[in-house]
Structure 1
Amino acid sequence: MRPHGAHANTPPGEGSSRRLRLRLRLRPLRRVATGAALLLALTATPSVAVPTAAAEGSCARIGHLVVPGAARQQAACLDELTTAGTVGSGHTDPADWAGLTPKDLSTPAGVPGIQIDGHFPDTSTTNTHHGWNHDAQFVIRLPDRWNGGLVIAGTPGNRAQYANDRAIGDWVLARGYAYAATDKGNTGPHFYRDGRRPGDAVAEWNRRVTQLAKATRTVVAQRYGRQPTRTLATGISNGGYLVRWQLENHPELYDAGVDWEGTLWRADGPNLLTFLPTALAAYPTYAAGGAGAARAHRQLLAAGFPAGSEFLWPYHHRSYWDLTQRVYREEFDPDFDGSTEAGTPYCAPGTPACDADYDYASRPAEVHRAVQRVALTGRIGKPLITVQGTLDVLLPVSRDADVYARMVHDAGRGDLFRSYRIEGGTHTDSLYDTFPDRLRPLVPCHRSAFTATEHWLRTGHAPPPSHTIPRPTGADPTTLLTGCPLS
């Protein structure tokens, strides 16, 4: 879950008020000759994209592409499917992915193909893209030079369908993959208004990813004349949660998954409602100094916020902790604050119905049942790699990836799973620009995990055992931004 203006796990839509809404010009564009796609493999030989019969005909079959179940679709023949071209052509929205990647992340180019934008039937209207004011929007991108694979992604935080374009979409498209992403069925800071009962909005996320995966596999077959040889699910934060849930509940749709700091939902905890209230209650005392500061510091560490991450606490208190707690608590436990919607921002402990005093363990059984509806089990059915930073202070690794690793092993699925703790990684990759001497970006670690997954599928040889990947001593920014070996 990243906050919008800064990062992938934004509380649902932080920064939505300052979004620049682009009316996407969904019309066929003149095609020009292009070279081979730029391939940005980091740790393994990339999958090779080769022209197909459909590619040789360029966009000749664009009128024959039908997204099953879509209420609306519009296709465009584009010279460039990556953000190197879609920003200028109007086929992405930079506000969706603002703050999710380091500023110096390179942008591949040379990927012509077809983009389909559309939406499935839905009753909510939080997504304003294209002037549609309609949720369950999706984007499907079909490169001319296809490597036979398909990548399915759900968005981080509560952003819309283009949120992964810089961090994930550009790179997999340049490697030849077809790519599809969904807004998960609701967006923005009031996502919890969607649905009739607690948990409905998050439950819809899972259904929408399943729906998109099924539909896109059909569209791929229409475009290229055959089904994908491999389908991978991947995503950041809330998107990482979706990867886990898909591999637990619909492994038949996928060959593998790569989870980038996925959110953990468990009915008995831990989940973000068990540790964020401690941050809201203890941090102001810690920050004020004085007699209570040492005790407050111990409380924060005991809640899971790692020692050594203190330099990140002011930013997360200001930008993430409060909003995230309130809106997700409203989704699962709207009765906590009565008729108030999503609590009182930055209320002091002792204030009536204050989220700083929220005690998930003591809440009524129906609250736990609402979380159980979307809870994870660890019973994955296909190979999965997780990467998460040791300095994650929105979803601490000891309360998230480490717990999920134990769940997978307890479920007897450990042979299908690897979890890599990235020393110096934090939940918001753009913070690397502010603290390059203390952090490391996770985007190259995700790419290493992705290529390791490809190798796993191709050869049957599992990646290195789960472990902590140290931050290279004295590493320069270029090294950290372009490499993250798993071994």
Structure 2
Amino acid sequence: MSVHQLGRRGVLCVTVAAALAGCGDSTGGSDTDAGTGTDSSAEPSTSAGTSDAQTSSTGGETGSTTGEETTGATATTTTETGSTSTGEDTESATDSEGTTGDPPLDLDALMEGLEDPYLRVYEGAGDGGLGHVTYFGLDTESPEFLALEPQEQAKVVKIQATSLHSALLQPTEEHPGAEVTGALEVTGDDGVRRQELTLKLPSEWNGRLVVLGAPGTRSEFSNEAVLTPWLLARGYAIVSGNKGMTNAGADGNATMLNQAHPTAHWGEMMIDMGLWAQARLEAATQVPAPPVYAAGLSNGGYQVRRALELDHLRVGQGEPRLFAGGLDWSGAYWPDARAMDTDDDQEVSPAEFAAANHLVSTNERAALTMGWLHAPDTLNTPAGYAEVPPYSAAHPAMLDGGFSAESALIWGAYSSTFDYLKDYGLTEFKGVGYYNITAYVFRAELLGHDAGQSLAYSCYSDGGDEPPPFYPWLEQAQDGGWTPESVTWALRNANTGEFSAPLISVHGQRDGLLGLQANAIAYEDAILEHGDPDMFRLYVIEHGGHVDLHSDGGLDFDANGMFGDEGAADSFTIMQPYAERAFDYLVAWVEDDAPAPPGKLVATDPVADELDASQLSFE
């Protein structure tokens, strides 16, 4: 392994390619237990932290490709590397045997502290690389899929279930390196925080780490086509987790209806991942404390905000800062007591919480305003979409709920997103959309209800012609159906707007799920009132939506039963390049002391999307 300077940033860059190339030759016991995938005869590696650590490799130029899993030990190899004196301006390339003179790369160290750790080394020449570009379209009944190890098959399933990117930005570039998966469990003052995660170390590592929050309640692979490919291409190590849950509780994970209030830990889980991954990279590469950045989309953006706020508190208590800065992409905002205590009695009542704009209330208001798709008085009709502006009767209530007028194009689609599933035998999804399902599951989470207890206000249909309980229950609920205890849990999620590392937010002007005013502007207001505005930038992206998958125009926007016939893609800007550009501004702000340009509305052309972040400027 050779260590050299990155250049103008002066940050150590570790080239791990040479060390990884030898990982195709795995050492360990002579026998492999076919039932468990672990070595049944050799002593377990003490550095792996558990006795069932598993390592696999796709091979390397000098290593054999066996397809077998081993105990995680790796072999060294003779390779050509470049060396640079970190104290001089000159650089020379030399042929060296092994890694003499350089710190050894210890891949086993990447697995320490995880339950059921699994290590895979990717060559990046037909195996998909760290970004798994061959997994997106892999048929799960094909011989190629069936030939994969069980852990790789699980990755395929998770990746295909969580895609949120635009088809215009389908990843294709393979990046070699090492990936570790497993479960990280941390015990805090208020219980155990457990999440599944993936840590990616590219062969050409730039010496930095990015902690990615997960959108929605999606898996640790939910960023695989969103931010991951761009970051890997620039050499960042990446750690991403699933917040301890997956949609519908897949793979035995928790759900939002587990009665344990999982959202209360989402910010801390970002810190857990960052501290663990930073220590593992330091142990594996001998590079002291890599700088750590946070980034995330949607609920992952909320995680970034909350993590920087919690890190600020840690610094105030004498602990070292973890995050150098953060990128919040369309994050959710949970207001704190200072924003909701309208009568100044030093507490937030259920009525005050019901009146405030937050993730639950804004989605409930949108669902009630647009109406159930199959109700006679619904606004979600082809005629309503055709109005100028779309759904004109809904505008007063939707704008009061924190949505921008520009987002009206997608209000109908988000009111009935999953209704089509009823035609495939899933009648419970009749009339279900992002608005009512988001409001339902987050309400149940705050109330501490399971699936049975939440039936009274469920968004799911019985397949008949009457709206589900969600609608009549909300219309008659006193104080919005909230209790003092549920308000207490909501306040545990609250954003303070107080942080002390640079934070950049990008938010789409047409975001119809997490409305611009309720989630971006309101958070900026909190920072202006209680935080340090000099440490914050908000870039509103003209025509930008919530997730780029929907901005491709493939939803049923006008409720006519057809997908994508409205030509809506030409009204939405693809957000990902703007998030990438914002991240570059963030790094320059932190490492070059070059503050990002002032926040602004960034003009775009939704018909001719600019997909190259390097061509964008927020000046």
- TM-score, normalising length: structure 1: 0.79
Give me the whole-angstrom Cα distance separating, in 1, the residues matched to 2:415 and 2:505.
26
Give me the whole-angstrom Cα distance separating, in 2, the residues matched to 1:71 and 1:479.
39
Matches for 1:425-444 after TM superposition, within 5 Å? 425-434=544-553, 435-444=568-577
Q: Which runs of 5+ in 2 are unaligned?
A: 1-36, 38-53, 63-92, 124-128, 139-147, 188-192, 250-254, 313-320, 341-355, 372-377, 385-390, 418-433, 554-567
CA 1:337/1:186 → structure 2, altered by over 3 Å: closer, same or farther?
closer
Q: Deviations over 1:95-152 (max 9, x none)?
A: 44644111020525352111111112489xxxxxxxxxx9611100111211111000
Q: Does 1:329 pair with 2:443? A: yes
Q: Does 1:28 pair with 2:28? A: no
Give me the whole-angstrom Cα distance separating, in 2, the residues matched to 1:95 and 1:164.
11
Match of 1:100 in 2: 164
Match of 2:511 in 1: 392
Identity %: 23
Task: Note if contact 1:385-1:449 (Cα within 8 Å) is conserved in structure 2.
Answer: yes
Match of 1:476 in 2: 608
2:521 equivalent among 379, 394, 402: 402
Q: What is the Cα deviation at residue 313 of structure 1?
A: 1.6
Q: Deviations over 1:321-354 (max 9, x none)?
A: 1110100010012569983346243674997863
Task: Note if contact 1:72-1:120 (Cα within 8 Å) is conserved in structure 2.
Answer: no
Secondary structure (helix, strand or coil) at the match of 2:216 reads coil
Q: Does 1:202 pair with 2:263? A: yes
Q: Deviations over 1:271-300 (max 9, x none)?
A: 12222222111213323579xx76444322
Match of 1:82 in 2: 131
**Greater C-alpha Rg:** 2
Q: Deviations over 1:65-97 (max 9, x none)?
A: 144432221111211212335667738336446
Give me the whole-angstrom Cα distance separating, in 2, the residues matched to 1:162 and 1:56.
33
Matches for 1:339-358 after TM superposition, within 5 Å? 339-341=453-455, 343-345=458-460, 348=467, 354-355=473-474
Q: Deviations over 1:412-446 (max 9, x none)?
A: 31111000111101112112222331000110010
Q: Does 1:242 pair with 2:306? A: no
Q: What is the Cα deviation at residue 270 of structure 1?
A: 2.2
Give me the whole-angstrom Cα distance separating, in 1, the residues matched to 2:551 and 2:509.
14
Tell me: higher relative CO, structure 1 or 2? Use CA pairs within 8 A at least 6 residues apart. Answer: 1
Moved more, 160-169 or 76-85: 76-85
Match of 1:179 in 2: 238
Match of 2:199 in 1: 140
Secondary structure (helix, strand or coil) at the match of 2:406 reads coil
Match of 2:412 in 1: 314
Match of 2:401 in 1: 303
Match of 1:265 in 2: 334
Question: RMSD value over aligned CA atoms?
Answer: 3.4
Moved more, 383-392 or 307-316: 307-316
Give me the whole-angstrom Cα distance separating, in 2, the residues matched to 1:482 and 1:255.
22
CA 1:66/1:445 → structure 2, altered by over 3 Å: closer, same or farther?
closer
Q: Deviations over 1:189-243 (max 9, x none)?
A: 46123354xxx21123233222111110011112221134421000100100000
Q: Deviations over 1:22-64 (max 9, x none)?
A: x9x962220248xxxxxxxxxxxxxxxx99x9x9699974553
CA 1:356/1:174 → structure 2, altered by over 3 Å: closer, same or farther?
farther
Match of 1:65 in 2: 109
Q: Does 1:149 pair with 2:264? A: no
2:279 equivalent among 212, 218, 229: 218
Moved more, 405-414 or 113-122: 113-122
Which letter maps to 1:209? M
Moved more, 100-109 or 311-320: 100-109
Q: Does 1:461 pair with 2:594? A: yes
Match of 1:424 in 2: 543
Q: What is the Cα deviation at residue 305 of structure 1?
A: 2.7
1:253 equivalent among 296, 316, 322: 322
Give me the whole-angstrom Cα distance separating, in 1, the residues matched to 2:164 and 2:499.
27
Task: Note if contact 1:206-1:245 (Cα within 8 Å) is conserved in structure 2.
Answer: yes
Q: Deviations over 1:378-408 (max 9, x none)?
A: 0012100000001111110100010111111
CA 1:344/1:113 → structure 2, altered by over 3 Å: closer, same or farther?
closer
Q: Deviations over 1:354-395 (max 9, x none)?
A: 346667667332221110111110001210000000111111
Q: Does 1:379 pair with 2:498? A: yes
Which letter maps to 2:198? V
Match of 1:114 in 2: 178
Secondary structure (helix, strand or coil) at the match of 1:419 reads strand
Task: Note if contact 2:130-2:178 (Cα within 8 Å) is conserved in structure 1.
Answer: yes
Q: Deviations over 1:440-459 (max 9, x none)?
A: 01100100100001111122
Task: Note if contact 1:149-1:228 (Cα within 8 Å) is conserved in structure 2.
Answer: no
Moved more, 95-104 or 209-218: 95-104
Give me the whole-angstrom Cα distance separating, in 2, the residues matched to 1:265 and 1:210.
19
Give me the whole-angstrom Cα distance separating, in 2, the residues matched to 1:109 and 1:94.
20
Secondary structure (helix, strand or coil) at the match of 2:265 reads helix
Secondary structure (helix, strand or coil) at the match of 1:81 reads coil
CA 1:56/1:408 → structure 2, altered by over 3 Å: closer, same or farther?
farther
Secondary structure (helix, strand or coil) at the match of 1:391 reads coil
Task: Note if contact 1:237-1:263 (Cα within 8 Å) is conserved in structure 2.
Answer: yes
Match of 1:12 in 2: none
Secondary structure (helix, strand or coil) at the match of 2:569 reads coil
Give me the whole-angstrom Cα distance separating, in 2, the residues matched to 1:349 and 1:193.
18
Give me the whole-angstrom Cα distance separating, in 2, the residues matched to 1:482 and 1:455.
14
Task: Note if contact 1:83-1:166 (Cα within 8 Å) is conserved in structure 2.
Answer: no
Give me the whole-angstrom Cα distance separating, in 2, the residues matched to 1:352 and 1:399.
22
Give me the whole-angstrom Cα distance separating, in 1, the residues matched to 2:403 and 2:497.
23
